[in-house]
Amino acid sequence: MTVASRPIGAQGIPTSQTALVSTSPPPDPSDPRDDEAVPAEPTRDDEAEPAEPTTDHEAEPDPRFSFANERTFLAWIRTALGLVTAGLVVTQLFPAFDLSFGRRLVGLPLIALGVLISLFSYSSWQANERAMRRREPLPRSALPRLVAVVVSVVAVIGFVLVLIDGIRG
């Protein structure tokens, strides 16, 4: 096999980098005389066991994807903690509205949403990890829609309560 070095670049523009270009035809896998077409015997490194046992239908995913999945899970947990904290602040520290249950009407849905996010984010992490190991498409998550709807409803309720309080006060 002959290898030549020549400059490459976009639209024939010379660059300072060079690439190795093969000047011989690609090997024919059906030709038994071609040494390159014969698969090499597996080495000891090729036979290394994965970190976790896998079944016939599962494979160890790229660690970057697993780490990204874990970061997403942790982001959902931070969101859940923020919502629970906001709900506690609203129910315990905000001044009372004209309606006696106004603070709870705003704060309790935030706390409940935080609890739901913390539960569903774990199952979502687990489903994504399973899909990556099985080389399947990732499942869709209902969490973004749930958060958007609940936060929007709570915001509208808060707006109405402040508006009522301002009209009466």
pLDDT digits (tens, 9 = 90+) for 127-153: 999 999 999 999 999 999 999 999 999
Whether residue 60 has pLDDT greater than 80: yes
Tokens of 13: 């523009």
Whether residue 20 has pLDDT greater than 60: no
For residue 124, tell me if it sits in a domain. Answer: yes
Check residue 8 and give its pLDDT: 47
For residue 129, tell me if it sits in a domain. Answer: yes
For residue 48, tell me if it sits in a domain. Answer: no
The C-alpha atoms of residue 69 and residue 131 are separated, in whole angstroms, by: 11
Q: What is the pTM of this model?
A: 0.62
The per-residue pLDDT of the chain, averaged, comes to 79
Which SS3 state, helix, strand or coil, does residue 7 take?
strand
Chain centre to alpha carbon of residue 76: 10
Do the beta carbons of residue 106 and residue 154 sit within 8 Å? yes
Tokens of 74: 């942790």
Whether residue 10 has pLDDT greater than 70: no
For residue 78, tell me if it sits in a domain. Answer: yes
Which SS3 state, helix, strand or coil, does residue 81 take?
helix
For residue 104, tell me if it sits in a domain. Answer: yes
In which domain, by residue range, is 148 found? 63-168
For residue 27, tell me if it sits in a domain. Answer: no
How would you classify residue 115: left for phi > 0, otherwise alpha for psi between -120 and 50, otherwise beta? alpha
CB atoms under 10 Å from CB of 146, counted, come to 14
Do the beta carbons of residue 109 and residue 154 sit within 8 Å? yes
Q: Taking residues 108-113, what's their average pLDDT?
A: 96
Q: Taking residues 55-79, what's their average pLDDT?
A: 89
For residue 108, tell me if it sits in a domain. Answer: yes
For residue 3, tell me if it sits in a domain. Answer: no
Tokens of 76: 């959902």
CB atoms under 10 Å from CB of 107, counted, come to 22
Q: Taking residues 82-88, what's their average pLDDT?
A: 96
Q: Taking residues 111-129, what's their average pLDDT?
A: 95
The type of residue at 36 is E
- The number of distinct structural domains making up the chain is 1
Q: Which residues pair with 5 in a beta bridge?
A: 20
Strands (E) located in 10-80: 18-22
Q: Taking residues 102-128, what's their average pLDDT?
A: 95
The type of residue at 88 is L
Check residue 157 and give its pLDDT: 94
Whether residue 63 has pLDDT greater than 70: yes
